[in-house]
Structure 1
Amino acid sequence: MSSHEHHGPDDSDDDCVDYIERIVYLLDNELDQADCTVVEMHLRECGPCLERYDLQRAVKQLVARSCSESAPESLRDRVRLQLHQVHVRITDAGA
Protein backbone atom coordinates (compact mmCIF):
# COMPACT_ATOMS: atom_id res chain seq x y z
CA MET A 1 0.00 0.00 0.00
CA SER A 2 1.07 3.58 -0.43
CA SER A 3 2.26 5.97 2.21
CA HIS A 4 -1.07 7.78 2.30
CA GLU A 5 -3.75 6.29 4.49
CA HIS A 6 -7.32 7.32 5.22
CA HIS A 7 -8.43 7.34 8.83
CA GLY A 8 -12.20 7.10 8.49
CA PRO A 9 -14.82 5.99 5.99
CA ASP A 10 -15.32 9.51 4.64
CA ASP A 11 -11.75 10.69 5.11
CA SER A 12 -9.94 10.89 1.79
CA ASP A 13 -6.85 12.62 0.52
CA ASP A 14 -7.41 15.45 -1.93
CA ASP A 15 -5.83 13.41 -4.74
CA CYS A 16 -8.32 10.58 -4.09
CA VAL A 17 -11.39 12.74 -4.70
CA ASP A 18 -10.80 12.64 -8.47
CA TYR A 19 -10.36 8.87 -8.42
CA ILE A 20 -13.72 8.22 -6.77
CA GLU A 21 -15.56 9.48 -9.87
CA ARG A 22 -13.09 7.82 -12.24
CA ILE A 23 -13.70 4.45 -10.55
CA VAL A 24 -17.25 4.48 -11.91
CA TYR A 25 -15.98 5.29 -15.40
CA LEU A 26 -13.42 2.48 -15.10
CA LEU A 27 -16.15 -0.01 -14.18
CA ASP A 28 -18.27 1.17 -17.12
CA ASN A 29 -15.31 0.86 -19.54
CA GLU A 30 -15.53 4.58 -20.32
CA LEU A 31 -11.86 5.46 -19.80
CA ASP A 32 -9.16 5.37 -22.42
CA GLN A 33 -6.21 3.04 -21.83
CA ALA A 34 -3.98 5.76 -20.35
CA ASP A 35 -6.60 6.76 -17.78
CA CYS A 36 -7.30 3.10 -16.97
CA THR A 37 -3.63 2.60 -16.21
CA VAL A 38 -3.48 5.65 -13.95
CA VAL A 39 -6.59 4.64 -12.00
CA GLU A 40 -5.44 1.02 -11.69
CA MET A 41 -2.05 2.19 -10.36
CA HIS A 42 -3.81 4.35 -7.78
CA LEU A 43 -6.03 1.43 -6.73
CA ARG A 44 -2.96 -0.76 -6.17
CA GLU A 45 -1.57 1.87 -3.81
CA CYS A 46 -4.69 3.09 -2.01
CA GLY A 47 -6.62 0.64 0.15
CA PRO A 48 -9.64 2.90 0.78
CA CYS A 49 -10.08 3.64 -2.93
CA LEU A 50 -9.71 -0.07 -3.69
CA GLU A 51 -12.46 -0.79 -1.16
CA ARG A 52 -14.71 1.76 -2.89
CA TYR A 53 -13.89 0.17 -6.25
CA ASP A 54 -14.80 -3.29 -4.91
CA LEU A 55 -18.05 -1.94 -3.46
CA GLN A 56 -19.00 -0.18 -6.71
CA ARG A 57 -18.21 -3.34 -8.68
CA ALA A 58 -20.36 -5.46 -6.35
CA VAL A 59 -23.27 -3.00 -6.61
CA LYS A 60 -22.99 -2.93 -10.40
CA GLN A 61 -23.02 -6.75 -10.55
CA LEU A 62 -26.02 -6.92 -8.20
CA VAL A 63 -27.98 -4.41 -10.27
CA ALA A 64 -27.12 -6.28 -13.47
CA ARG A 65 -28.40 -9.55 -12.00
CA SER A 66 -31.52 -7.90 -10.61
CA CYS A 67 -32.42 -6.16 -13.85
CA SER A 68 -32.09 -9.17 -16.12
CA GLU A 69 -35.81 -9.99 -16.14
CA SER A 70 -37.94 -8.95 -19.09
CA ALA A 71 -41.19 -7.08 -18.66
CA PRO A 72 -44.33 -9.13 -19.32
CA GLU A 73 -45.76 -8.73 -22.82
CA SER A 74 -48.96 -7.20 -21.41
CA LEU A 75 -46.92 -4.44 -19.75
CA ARG A 76 -44.99 -3.80 -22.94
CA ASP A 77 -48.27 -3.51 -24.85
CA ARG A 78 -49.63 -0.98 -22.33
CA VAL A 79 -46.43 1.08 -22.52
CA ARG A 80 -46.53 1.05 -26.33
CA LEU A 81 -50.17 2.17 -26.26
CA GLN A 82 -49.38 5.00 -23.82
CA LEU A 83 -46.45 6.15 -25.97
CA HIS A 84 -48.65 6.09 -29.07
CA GLN A 85 -51.36 8.12 -27.30
CA VAL A 86 -48.83 10.71 -26.12
CA HIS A 87 -47.37 10.92 -29.62
CA VAL A 88 -50.85 11.45 -31.11
CA ARG A 89 -51.63 14.20 -28.56
CA ILE A 90 -48.33 15.95 -29.28
CA THR A 91 -48.91 15.67 -33.02
CA ASP A 92 -52.50 16.95 -32.72
CA ALA A 93 -51.40 19.85 -30.52
CA GLY A 94 -48.81 20.93 -33.07
CA ALA A 95 -51.28 20.91 -35.98
Structure 2
Amino acid sequence: MTEHTHHHDHDPSESECADFLERIVYFLDNELDEADCAVVRMHLDTCNPCLEKYDLQRTVKSIVARSCSESAPEDLRARVMMRVREVQIRISET
Protein backbone atom coordinates (compact mmCIF):
# COMPACT_ATOMS: atom_id res chain seq x y z
CA MET A 1 0.00 0.00 0.00
CA THR A 2 1.31 3.48 -0.75
CA GLU A 3 2.15 5.90 1.98
CA HIS A 4 -0.46 8.60 2.53
CA THR A 5 0.70 12.13 1.89
CA HIS A 6 -2.55 13.47 3.34
CA HIS A 7 -2.23 14.05 7.10
CA HIS A 8 -5.08 12.83 9.27
CA ASP A 9 -4.94 15.98 11.40
CA HIS A 10 -5.44 18.21 8.32
CA ASP A 11 -9.01 19.30 7.75
CA PRO A 12 -9.67 19.54 4.01
CA SER A 13 -10.72 22.97 2.81
CA GLU A 14 -14.14 23.57 1.29
CA SER A 15 -12.58 23.93 -2.16
CA GLU A 16 -10.77 20.59 -1.77
CA CYS A 17 -14.04 18.94 -0.75
CA ALA A 18 -15.94 20.58 -3.62
CA ASP A 19 -13.39 19.08 -6.03
CA PHE A 20 -13.74 15.65 -4.45
CA LEU A 21 -17.55 15.79 -4.39
CA GLU A 22 -17.49 16.37 -8.14
CA ARG A 23 -15.07 13.45 -8.60
CA ILE A 24 -17.22 11.17 -6.42
CA VAL A 25 -19.86 11.07 -9.17
CA TYR A 26 -17.24 9.77 -11.62
CA PHE A 27 -15.88 7.44 -8.92
CA LEU A 28 -19.34 5.92 -8.40
CA ASP A 29 -19.73 5.40 -12.16
CA ASN A 30 -16.25 3.77 -12.44
CA GLU A 31 -15.12 6.56 -14.79
CA LEU A 32 -11.82 7.35 -13.04
CA ASP A 33 -8.45 5.72 -13.63
CA GLU A 34 -6.88 3.77 -10.77
CA ALA A 35 -4.65 6.68 -9.65
CA ASP A 36 -7.64 9.03 -9.33
CA CYS A 37 -9.65 6.31 -7.56
CA ALA A 38 -6.85 5.95 -5.01
CA VAL A 39 -6.84 9.72 -4.37
CA VAL A 40 -10.63 9.77 -3.90
CA ARG A 41 -10.51 6.74 -1.57
CA MET A 42 -7.78 8.40 0.48
CA HIS A 43 -9.86 11.58 0.81
CA LEU A 44 -12.96 9.59 1.80
CA ASP A 45 -10.88 7.81 4.47
CA THR A 46 -10.00 11.15 6.06
CA CYS A 47 -13.07 13.32 5.46
CA ASN A 48 -16.25 12.21 7.17
CA PRO A 49 -18.56 14.87 5.56
CA CYS A 50 -17.49 13.74 2.07
CA LEU A 51 -17.86 10.09 3.08
CA GLU A 52 -21.42 10.76 4.20
CA LYS A 53 -22.21 12.49 0.89
CA TYR A 54 -20.61 9.58 -0.98
CA ASP A 55 -22.78 7.09 0.94
CA LEU A 56 -25.90 9.15 0.19
CA GLN A 57 -25.11 9.38 -3.53
CA ARG A 58 -24.33 5.65 -3.67
CA THR A 59 -27.65 4.84 -1.97
CA VAL A 60 -29.65 7.14 -4.30
CA LYS A 61 -27.91 5.67 -7.35
CA SER A 62 -28.76 2.15 -6.16
CA ILE A 63 -32.43 3.01 -5.54
CA VAL A 64 -32.77 4.70 -8.93
CA ALA A 65 -31.15 1.74 -10.68
CA ARG A 66 -33.49 -0.69 -8.93
CA SER A 67 -36.54 1.48 -9.68
CA CYS A 68 -35.67 1.73 -13.36
CA SER A 69 -35.66 -2.04 -13.71
CA GLU A 70 -39.23 -2.41 -12.42
CA SER A 71 -42.28 -2.07 -14.64
CA ALA A 72 -45.43 -0.27 -13.61
CA PRO A 73 -48.46 -2.53 -13.03
CA GLU A 74 -50.66 -2.83 -16.12
CA ASP A 75 -53.72 -1.21 -14.47
CA LEU A 76 -51.61 1.82 -13.51
CA ARG A 77 -50.24 2.08 -17.05
CA ALA A 78 -53.79 1.97 -18.44
CA ARG A 79 -55.01 4.69 -16.04
CA VAL A 80 -52.07 6.94 -16.87
CA MET A 81 -52.58 6.50 -20.62
CA MET A 82 -56.31 7.23 -20.27
CA ARG A 83 -55.50 10.43 -18.35
CA VAL A 84 -52.93 11.46 -20.99
CA ARG A 85 -55.56 10.99 -23.72
CA GLU A 86 -58.09 13.08 -21.75
CA VAL A 87 -55.57 15.90 -21.45
CA GLN A 88 -54.68 15.63 -25.15
CA ILE A 89 -58.38 15.87 -26.08
CA ARG A 90 -58.85 18.93 -23.88
CA ILE A 91 -55.80 20.60 -25.41
CA SER A 92 -56.96 19.89 -28.95
CA GLU A 93 -60.44 21.29 -28.20
CA THR A 94 -59.06 24.70 -27.14
Taking structure 2 as the reference length, the TM-score comes to 0.63
Q: Which runs of 4+ in 1 moved over 6 A?
A: none
- Deviation per residue, 1:45-75 (Å, 9 max, x gap): 0000000000000000000110002589xx9
Corresponding position of 1:2: 8
In the alignment, the residues of structure 2 paired with residue 48 and residue 32 of structure 1 have an alpha-carbon distance, to the nearest angstrom, of: 24
In the alignment, the residues of structure 2 paired with residue 52 and residue 2 of structure 1 have an alpha-carbon distance, to the nearest angstrom, of: 19
Gaps of 5+ in 1: 7-11, 76-95
**Matched residue count:** 68
- CA RMSD of superposed structures (Å): 2.3
Corresponding position of 1:31: 32
Corresponding position of 1:51: 52
Taking structure 1 as the reference length, the TM-score comes to 0.62
Identity in percent:
66
On the 8 A contact 1:4/1:46 being kept in 2, the answer is no
On the 8 A contact 1:22/1:39 being kept in 2, the answer is yes
Identify if the C-alpha distance between structure 1 residues 26 and 2 changes in structure 2 by more than 3 Å, giving closer, same or farther.
same
Q: What letter is aligned with 1:59? A: V
In the alignment, the residues of structure 1 paired with residue 10 and residue 54 of structure 2 have an alpha-carbon distance, to the nearest angstrom, of: 17
